[in-house]
A and B are shown apart, each in its own frame.
Chain A
Amino acid sequence: MNQINQSGWKPGTPVPADRGEEYPTVTGNKALMLEERLIFELGRTDTCGVDLPEPDPAAPNRLGKFARQQATGLPGLSEPETVRHYTRLSRQNYAIDLGLFPLGSCTMKHNPRLNEKVARMPGFADVHPLQPVDTVRGALGVINELAHWLIELTGMHGVAMTPKAGAHGELCGMLCIRAALEARGDARKVVLVPESAHGTNPATAAFAGYEVEDIPAAPDGRVDLAAMKARLGPDVAAVMITNPNTCGLFESEMKAISDAVHAAGGFVYCDGANFNAIMGRVRPGDLGIDAMHINLHKTFSTPHGGGGPGSGPVVLSEALCPYGPLPFTAKMPDGSIQLVEEENAAEHGHTETFGRMAAFHGQMGMFTRALTYILSHGADGLRQASGDAVLNANYLLRSLDDVFDAPFGDSGPCMHEALFSDHGFAEGMSTLDVAKGLIDEGFHPMTMYFPLVVHGAMLVEPTETESKAVLDQFIVAMRSLGERAKAGDEALKTAPHHAPRARLDEAQAARKPVLTYYTEV
């Protein structure tokens, strides 16, 4: 195997001992590794990094009796101090820009900078959501053009663009299903969710007012079709399926599942978190899906930003379209795509909408980025992207399955993520230890302990934007960690040793929560 490492190190090369402990510094800094205090320790309430006129005490005051009496105690910093503070903080983060970020189910792909440039064009960044419609035709054009792509890529009928994130999209889809059932006077109460599902699925179904029942997985890692069919009945409102599923497998019986659910009078919700594996390869509409959210921040490369903002448009089948929330984007009889809002809902026959999910039009800043990404790829590039994502994952699976247990390694090729378990580790060694060891090797860990159906699960999603050279380097690191876990290497139990922080005491954080910085204000 081609062992590539930019520093020239390769297995067998002697590694110099960490000399850090021998030469402590008085500041706690270690050259480029800089400690940084909190703004509440650095800043002062009388310092400001923005030039503003001094308030005129004689200026008119129409605040009535509500003028502020108590000080906020908000600290300020000058501009250079501010830049330095956040730059120092930034350097304590791992990021895609630094290296492989193989979090399964999270699709941490490269975030193109053209997306950022476009999102900052004044016609997108500097327009108000309630400007007269004639002054924002281009913004509505972006929504329509993106909606067109999403509808075509999924083979669905319409799309609700407003949901703010994946879980919000799930809720949107489930509320459409509930509205459709209520419209036909059908008070079904139960939603079936495979036990391998994302935690958001049962949370969403419960939030939408449903009782949740698990359906088991078959031994090959796919939904147990017979068990699910046996449970279907007049009380089942919907089945929530993830396809490709969280074990990294395509649900080959998806069409049969959908047909069975439809025959029993229910709807099929698909968690689209893993759409990156199949875009341009198979269309969810052809698999009988009724509703599916699309995480623009996964499949379509909008930045994760350290935890949001996301964006989760929901594509809908013809049966569910009438119930979609406002504003809504639908395909008209003449093939055009139309934005439907409160004021023209009646005109477009969209009167059965279940309502509104958020203020304004949704995550416009994400729409411009996602559309830019899609236009850059084109239909051919998107198909190539899913192919490369699946190729990369299978390459990892087959390069590691002799060291790590791959519980579904015999269930056919994986999709865009490879799943391993902790089977075969020495007593006391865990998935967590391997993950923390990866940090020392310069990689972000994979998704740990998910899906729940696999013991000590490690879900690895490389995405299509990683080169073979990077994957080979990762394979070297993973093989080494796998061997160490099997051998019971105690040093792994205290990893990471080279990160800005050692393992953090999460029990203390939860037992005595300190969620705010306290000082006398």
Chain B
Amino acid sequence: MPRYFTEEHEWIEVDGDAATIGITDYAQEQLGDVVFVEVPQSGTMMTKGKEAAVVESVKAASDVYAPISGEVLEGNAALEDDPALVNTSPEEEGWFFKLTVADAGELDGLMDAAAYKAFCESL
């Protein structure tokens, strides 16, 4: 399944017309110990670029923006009890939410793994 990355350090894995979204290993490293994640409720309509979730570490709170538009299918309930999953498994178990891909065209211009790696190294 293709996986895309954004300059806001989110990853998007597309499976047909659904996508799973989380934050990257680089992002969790920058945040430090994640203590709380607020994920969107299913049924919420997301617009690309708008605030979709909140992730908090001890000292910082960051908004996570919707990388593409779509309807939320599911928020990751496991994060409520165990926000540390974002640190231990950011790109697998620590996913944030799944949503429908409203416009596959919005995926154009996102980075692949190699491009994202180069992007992080340039920071």
Contacts and interface: CB of A to CB of B under 8 A. Distances in A.
A511 interface: yes
Interface in A202-244: none
Contacts of B84: 507, 511
A98 interface: no
A507 B84 CA distance: 9
Interface secondary structure of A, over-half rule? helix
Nearest to A507: B33
A506 interface: yes
Place the interface of chain B in its size category: 10 to 19
Interface in A476-510: 506-507, 510
Contacts, number: 18
A511 B83 CA distance: 7
A449 B58 CA distance: 14
A511 B58 CA distance: 9
Interface string B53-70: 000111100000000000
Contacts of B33: 506-507, 511
Contacts of B36: 510-511
B37 to A, nearest CB: 11
Contacts of B35: 507, 510-511
Interface secondary structure of B, over-half rule? loop
Contacts of A449: 59
A244 B65 CA distance: 36
Interface in A440-462: 449
A510 B36 CA distance: 8
Q: Which of B33, B56, B57, B84 gathers most chain A CB within 10 Å?
A: B33
A503 to B, nearest CB: 12
A449 B33 CA distance: 17
A232 to B, nearest CB: 28
Contacts of B83: 511
A511 B32 CA distance: 13
Nearest to B82: A511
Contacts of B59: 449
Interface in A109-148: none
A507 B58 CA distance: 6
A263 to B, nearest CB: 36
A451 to B, nearest CB: 15
A156 B35 CA distance: 46
Interface in A356-387: none
B76 to A, nearest CB: 16
Given A506-B58, A507-B35, A510-B56, 10 more contacts: A449-B59, A507-B32, A507-B57, A507-B58, A510-B35, A511-B33, A511-B35, A511-B36, A511-B83, A511-B84
Interface of B: 32-33, 35-36, 56-59, 83-84
18 contacts: A449-B59, A506-B33, A506-B58, A507-B32, A507-B33, A507-B35, A507-B57, A507-B58, A507-B84, A510-B35, A510-B36, A510-B56, A510-B58, A511-B33, A511-B35, A511-B36, A511-B83, A511-B84
The 3 closest A-B pairs by CB, nearest first: A507-B33, A510-B35, A506-B58
